[in-house]
Every structure is written in C-alpha cells, then in structure tokens.
Structure 1
C-alpha cells in the first residue's frame, strides 16, 4: 500500500506542475490556443482530483491522511490562480461548479461506500474461491480413494482367479488320484479272483 500511495503522490506532483506550466502558457498565449489550453487544464484538474480521491481512500487511518489535506489546499490555490487568469483573459470556465462538486462530502461518502462494497465483494469472492479450493481438494481425495479401491478390487479379482485356477488343478489332481485308486482296486480284485480260481483247481486235482 505504501508503494501505491507514493505512486499517487508522484503522479499528483507531476500533474500540478503540468497545470502550473499550462496556466503560464494560458497567461502568455494568444487567442488561437487559449481554448485548447483551457480544456487541457480542466482535464488535468479532474485527473488531479481523482488522484487525491484515490489517495484519500488508500490512506484512511494512515500517516498520509494529513498530506491529502495539504494537497487539496494546494490544488485549491492552483485552481483559484487558474480562475483569476482565465477571468482576466476572458476565457469561460465552469471549473467553479466542477470543483465544488469534487470536494463535496457527499461525493467522498459515495466513494467510501463504493469502496466498502467492493471490499465486501472481494471478501465474498475470496471466500467463494476458498470454498472452491476446498471442494477441489475433497474431490481429489475422493478420486484418490476410488482409485485405491479400484486397485484393491483388481488385486482381489486377480487373487480370486488364481484361487480358482488352483482349485481346478486340485480337482483334476483329485480326479486323477481317484481313477488310479479305482484301477488299483480293480487289479487287486482280478488278482484275488485268479488266485481263487487257481486254488480251486489245485484242490480239485488234489482231491481226485
């Protein structure tokens, strides 16, 4: 803020110097360029007053507030000088009405009210921006959680596939073992049958 106040003060100094120079030109000028110089001076007065209003808004409650009153007094003195020279030169000017309006308390109060509304709007925008950032952070966290959950589900699905494959291999192995057991039992039965037949034949020959 201090840098902005210094910038306004420097611009004001340049403007007042320019106004003083043009007042001298108006005093010494000819009939052809008086109207042009007058319009330039009035435009400079408006710009200087705008600068003082900005400076007053920026320096509220600060040390620069006392300097603003001095700047206004200086601008009023330059204005009086301009009016005197313009009157003696026969140049019409409506600066009196303009400056009375510029320095009115109602005008300054309106500017202050507008500034307060702008500050409130700025705070509302800042709060809205903060809410947007928080919402964005929450959304990013939710997306991250969903991504982690998706990875967990994919890993679980992969484990289920591996488990299913292992169960299939185990089932095939069990079926193979059962078939081998049945084959072994069949062989044993056949062996016992052959032995029984041989035993019966042997007994028959033994008895006869």
Structure 2
C-alpha cells in the first residue's frame, strides 16, 4: 500500500473527527464565537477536500488491483465529507433563522430542552459516523492485506513459471545443437556412401573390361 495514501488517510480521519466535534460543539456558542467556529469548520472542510483530491491522485497512480481497493475506500470518505457539508449547511441555515425561531418559542426552558435534545442527537450521530468510519478503515486495511498477499503469491507463481520457461529454452537449445550435430554426421555418411559407390562402380567397370579382354583374346586364338 502507498505510504503517501496512508499519510493522507490518517490526516483526513483526524480532520474528519475534529470537524464532527466542532459541528457538535458549535450549537453551544452564540454570536461572534459561533461565527468564528463556523469559519474554522469551513476551512477544515476545504482542507478535507484537498486531502480527498490528494488521495484520489495517489490511488490512481498505483497498480490496478490496489487502485480498485483504494478508490472504494475513497468513495466512503467522499460520502462522509458530503454528510459533514450537509450538516454544516443545516447549522448555517438554523443560525440564520435563530432569531425567528426564538420568537416562536414560548419559554426559555423549552428552548434549552430543544437545544439539549438536538445536541444529544447530533453527538450520537457523530459518534455513530466515527464508528462507521473506523469500521470502514479496518475493513479496507484487511482487504488491502489480502490483496497484497494475493499479489505476492501471483509474483511467486510468475517467477516459477519464468524459471520453467528458461529451463525449457535451455533444453530446446541443447536439442537443437544435438540435431545439428546429427545432421552433420548424416551428411558426412551420405558423402562417404556416395564415394564408396563411385569406387565400387569403378572396380566393377575395370573387372568387366578385364574379363571382356580375357575372353576376347581366348576366343581370337
């Protein structure tokens, strides 16, 4: 797995957890403090988007089997970031309508109870989201380890096949050399046989001529 991707991933997870805490705590603030906290959250979201882009570029530069796993994890992080953006939009929208909402509340106690219930709900949602993110990270790491083990096994098999092919190539070279030597021997034997045929033919011709001469002289007497 890419060390750069792991570094970006750790930074994003820390940033996402920090943003979730800020979204939960922003409800306790008012006025300028709340605006300042919202501004910090926006900056954090921009940084998170930058981390997502870096992880995306790093994942796409890796091998296809590893890239597929990392891009799947990246989709989960993008979904998590979109949920944070939606939550921030809701906070901003509620902040803009805070004065109108306060006028509709019948008492200060009702407002306190509503905010407290809303804070508990958001805190539980944030905790649940962090737990899901942790589970996805653990599952992604497990899948990555399995993929790496499979890759190592495939490389070992390919190495063994390469060694077998090299051995077969050496064997074929040896057979080819033997065939070459056998071809030369056969050629030499063929030449010797042709030479022997010529010699035998010459001897037979001489014998025939000699016999013919002997018969001729005998018959002429």
Scaled by the length of structure 2, the TM-score of the pair is 0.43
Which of 1 and 2 has greater Rg? 1
The structure carrying a bigger helix percent of its residues is 2
Greater relative CO (CA pairs within 8 A, separation 6+): 2
